[in-house]
Structures are given as C-alpha cells and as structure tokens.
Amino acid sequence: MKTTFCDVQLETAPGRVFTPRPTTEALVNAALERIDGVPMRIADVGTGGGAIAVALAINKPEIEVWATDTSEDAVELAQANAEKNGVADRVHVLRGDLLDPVPAPVDLIVANLPYLPESRHDSRYDDEPDDAVYAPGDGLETYRRLLDACRDGKLKTGGRVLLQYDGKPFEADCWQLEDLRARLENAA
C-alpha cells in the first residue's frame, strides 16, 4: 500500500510497520525551520517506514540523516522508501536501539517514538505493531532513555531535540534536556 506524507509518496506495510500520521507533519515542519542552508547531521530515531527522514532529506539537500529503528521490517521499508525517493545516499537506515547505531554526534535529533503506556489501550492503533505504539511504565521510558543518550555525547553541543508527544512537537536545545523531560512528564 501507499500513503502521502509531507507531499512525499511512501510505501507502507500495514500491520508490520507504523503508518505515518498527518499529525507528524508538524514535527517535520518544526525540524525544517531549524535547518538553514548549512550542512547538518540529523538523527530520525524510531524511523518506522522512514517518513520523517525521507521528507527532511527531500526538502533539505544540505543534510545527512541517520534513521534508526529496532524493527527489522521498519528498517527494510525505510531503506526502500529512501531509495524510491532518490535520497538513499543521504539517508542511512540502521537497525538498533535509539542512537546506538549513529556513528558520531548529530546537530538535530527528531523522534516520534512509542509513548502510550501499555495499560492505556488505544483502538486507533489496533492495526499497528505494539512495539511502535506502547512503551513501558508511564509510556515515557523510551523518551527518557533517548534524552539520557543525548547527554552521553550523541548530541553536539548546541544541538537540538524535537520529539513528538500526544500529537504535538516538544523541543529543546542541549542545555534544556531536563526541562524537556519535565515538560513531557507534566503532559503525561
């Protein structure tokens, strides 16, 4: 099957890989506003079918993107979407946890990771893989681990983080990671 996301044609794999939602286009637009003509290294963490990574790379030829996911099906689909859209030379799709596969610090991290607690079933996502939607505990554990990884050197000094939570972008620079964590916890 196919979908259109940020005016980009993407293949989908319903039931195996999360299908990108229109609400995530706001996250892409927020990221595009932070890219200003100079070469940048960007990580799309939990890339799914590569929607965010591919949309960013098509709109900004000056960037290079590392797109990670733990799901083998997601990595396969993201690679196919990068190739189909002619950006596979600048979108490096890698399988692994969060920022682990990203080889060097990046300027911008964009992520739409699972954030619903397992106890809060949401029928809107019944056709999606559970690992793409639900996260342990209060649902924020995956984002907390990502923010920890930013502090461990995977985000450049002066770099920024853009996360999607509850359908909205949450943003911070590298000095505001604790504040971002608190804002997510308040929103949960």
Residues that bind ligand SAM (CB under 6 A): 18, 20, 24, 45-48, 51-52, 68-71, 74, 97-98, 112-114, 131-132, 142
> Any residues with CB less than 8 A from the CB of 158 and at least 6 apart, and which?
107, 173, 174
Using the minimum distance from each CB to ligand SAM, give the nearer residue, 38 or 104: 104
End-to-end CA distance of the chain: 33
> Any residues with CB less than 8 A from the CB of 119 and at least 6 apart, and which?
none
Using the minimum distance from each CB to ligand SAM, give the nearer residue, 25 or 157: 25
The candidate with the shortest Cα–Cα distance to 53, out of 109, 115, 114, is 109
**Least distance between ligand SAM and beta carbon 142 (Å):** 5
**Least distance between ligand SAM and beta carbon 97 (Å):** 5
**Least distance between ligand SAM and beta carbon 107 (Å):** 19
Using the minimum distance from each CB to ligand SAM, give the nearer residue, 68 or 79: 68
Return the number of other C-beta atoms located less than 10 Å from residue 11's C-beta: 15
